[in-house]
Structures are given as structure tokens and as C-alpha cells.
């Protein structure tokens, strides 16, 4: 159903993104007992996979829609992604950000010429502020994760990975709003060779784990996790895909996230953010179930506040 859409999305965004490299580590393979292939979206433009979905969504708008700009709400990476995608395509971007969003991410949005509107750090406040801008400016709202064009764009990272490593048995990725894991699940379904998809999620923001159990979209009362990119919840566009095509979501502790992040910094010699490390943390937690398998891991981003490292 979505195979042609994924191919079209990739062709659309290809001139505007990096084809990121894949790294592996003999030591990490030994620790897990499997062959691991890390898709380094921390090397992507603006430092995260989200430029893929943002670019695809803007490129699907009509000229008259583009002329009035786009608006989103985001604590960080999608804020930067939409700002940069809009800048490249000569479109105005209004970005609603919670007051507690990391300074490093606010600064990046401003560098990409996004216009920041601050709000209280609740989902209700974010949505209300974005709706107000849509009404006043005529800007098109683009959801960070619950938008089919965004989901298809995010799926192109796994498409690239599977093009390079056709025999992957499993792909792990972090779960926040659900755009990446839904896109990854579609890519694995149409371009993998029996490849399954699993997710990692913090115990402190485990709405997706609970949603799969209950069969309906659950929300988080609190989200006190270091993985600031995963403090959001699933939506009605991505949840049906996740429900059908994601085999498992593994929850991890804050200590496990920090430990996995440290391993990636030490062994792969690269900068990744805590949200990125959640996928490896999940695999580490249940590694006995994945012995001798070929596994892809999507490192979702590398936008870290270097003044505020957890180690």
C-alpha cells in the first residue's frame, strides 16, 4: 500500500538530505552477541532524522500554502528540522516551543530563521499556541510525528539502511511521537527481507508500550526522562501502523539510557543524544533474545547540550 509512497518521498527529499553512513563496532557486537549496524542519523542535516519528514511534508504543500508558511510544536529536533527545511524551500516557519526546551535547540531554530513562540510545557498549551498561529497567519500545521507525509519521510532512513544491508533481521529505533518507528516499520515491511521492527522507550514516558497493550492511544501523566525527544505521545496516523507492524517495545531505565549513550560515545566515537541511545539500551536490556542476529539500530540524532552531559 505504501511502497510507492515511500519511493516517491525518497526521490522528493533526496536533494535536500544527507545519505548517512552506517557504523559498526566489534566490541559492541561482542557485548550484545549479535551483528549490529548503526544508521547514523546524528550525522544528518540539523543533526537528526527529522529533516527527512519535514522536507517531505513541505514539498507536498501547494504554492499558496507555502506562501503562508508552516507551523509546528516541538521541544527540539522537529523544531530545528522544520526550520531548516522551510529555510531551504524559502517558506516561513513558526515554531511553538515549550519554555523548558533545551537552549541548544532554541538557538539552532533561530539560526535556521525559525520564528519561536514559547508556551507552557504541556501538550495542551503547545497545541493551543500552534492552532492560534494557524488561524492568525494562515500557516499550515505540520505535526512532528502524526502526519503521513512526515512518517513516510522518516521511513527513508530505514530504506537506505536496508538498501545497504538487505539481510537485516531486525531494526531497533527509539519511540517518542511514533513517526520514526511507524516509518521504519513501513520501510521494513516493503523493503526488508522478513525484517521486523522493535522500539525502545523510557519507563518514564512509556505511553507507546501501554498503547500496544491496551489497543488504544495512552498518554503520559509525567515524562521525567533525560530522553527529551521522547516526551510526546502517539497519534491516530502512526498508531495503527505501529500496532500492526511493530513486534515489540522494550522499556528502559534512565540509568540504562545513560549507560548506552556512554557506550556509543566511547565505542563508536560519535556524539549521540539520550533519545538516540534508547534503542541500544533496549537491545542491551533483552540481548539474550537477539543472539547471532543481524540488527540495524537507528541512531536518531546528535543534538546534545554539551554543558549538560549526564556523565
User: Can you tell me the distance from the alpha carbon of 12 to that of 58, in angstroms, rounded to the nearest whole number?
Assistant: 10
Q: Are 229 and 102 in contact (CB under 8 A)?
A: no
Cell of 179: 513517526
Q: How far is 107 from 56, CA to CA, in rounded Å?
A: 24
Compute how many other C-beta atoms are within 10 angstroms of the C-beta atom of residue 71.
26
Question: Nearest 5°: phi and psi at 202?
Answer: -70, 145
* Gap between the Cα atoms of 256 and 292, Å rounded: 22
Catalytic residues: 50, 75
Sole residue written with cell 542535516: 45
What DSSP letter does each residue of 54-73 carry, written as one string?
Answer: HHHHHHTS-HHHHHH-EEEE
21: helix, strand or coil: coil
How many Cβ atoms from other residues are within 10 Å of residue 154's Cβ?
A: 33
Which residues, in sequence order, are CB contacts of 161 under 8 Å at separation 6+? 22, 37, 39, 168, 171, 296, 298
Contacts of 213 (CB under 8 A, 6+ apart): none
Burial of 91 (0-12, 13-18, 19+ CB in 10 A): buried
Place of cell 512526515: 150
Amino acid at each position: 500500500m505504501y511502497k510507492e509512497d515511500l519511493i516517491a518521498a525518497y526521490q522528493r527529499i533526496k536533494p535536500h538530505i544527507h545519505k548517512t553512513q552506517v557504523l559498526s563496532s566489534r566490541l559492541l557486537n561482542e557485548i550484545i552477541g549479535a551483528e549490529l549496524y548503526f544508521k547514523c542519523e546524528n550525522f544528518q542535516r540539523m543533526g537528526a532524522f527529522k529533516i527527512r519528514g519535514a522536507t517531505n511534508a513541505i514539498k507536498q504543500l501547494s504554492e499558496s500554502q507555502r506562501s503562508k508558511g508552516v507551523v509546528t510544536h516541538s521541544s527540539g529536533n522537529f523544531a530545528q528540522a522544520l526550520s531548516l527545511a522551510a529555510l531551504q524551500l524559502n517558506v516561513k516557519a513558526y515554531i511553538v516551543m515549550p519554555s523548558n526546551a533545551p537552549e541548544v535547540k532554541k538557538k539552532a531554530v533561530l539560526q535556521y530563521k525559525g520564528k519561536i513562540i514559547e508556551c507552557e510545557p504541556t501538550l495542551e498549551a503547545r497545541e493551543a499556541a500552534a492552532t492560534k498561529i494557524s488561524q492568525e497567519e494562515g500557516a499550515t500545521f505540520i505535526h512532528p510525528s502524526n502526519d503521513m507525509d512526515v512518517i513516510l519521510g522518516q521511513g527513508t532512513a530505514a530504506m537506505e539502511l536496508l538498501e545497504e544491508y538487505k539481510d537485516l533481521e531486525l531494526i531497533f529505533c527509539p519511540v517518542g511521537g511514533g513517526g520514526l518507528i511507524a516509518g521504519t516499520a513501513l520501510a521494513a515491511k516493503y523493503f526488508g527481507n522478513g525484517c521486523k521492527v522493535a522500539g525502545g522507550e523510557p519507563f518514564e514516558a512509556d505511553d507507546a508500550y501501554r498503547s500496544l497493550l491496551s489497543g488504544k492511544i495512552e498518554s503520559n501523566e509525567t515524562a521525567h526522562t533525560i530522553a527529551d525527544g521522547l516526551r510526546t505521545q502517539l497519534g491516530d496516523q502512526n498508531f495503527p501502523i505501529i500496532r500492526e507492524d511493530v513486534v515489540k517495545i522494550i522499556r528502559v531505565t534512565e540509568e540504562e539510557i545513560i549507560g548506552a549513550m556512554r557506550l556509543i560515545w566511547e565505542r563508536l566515537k560519535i556524539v549521540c543524544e539520550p533519545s538516540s541511545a534508547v534503542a541500544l539500551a533496549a537491545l542491551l536490556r533483552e540481548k539474550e533474545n537477539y543472539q547471532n542476529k543481524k540488527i540495524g539500530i537507528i541512531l536518531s540524532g546528535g543534538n546534545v547540550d554539551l554543558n549538560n552531559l549526564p556523565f
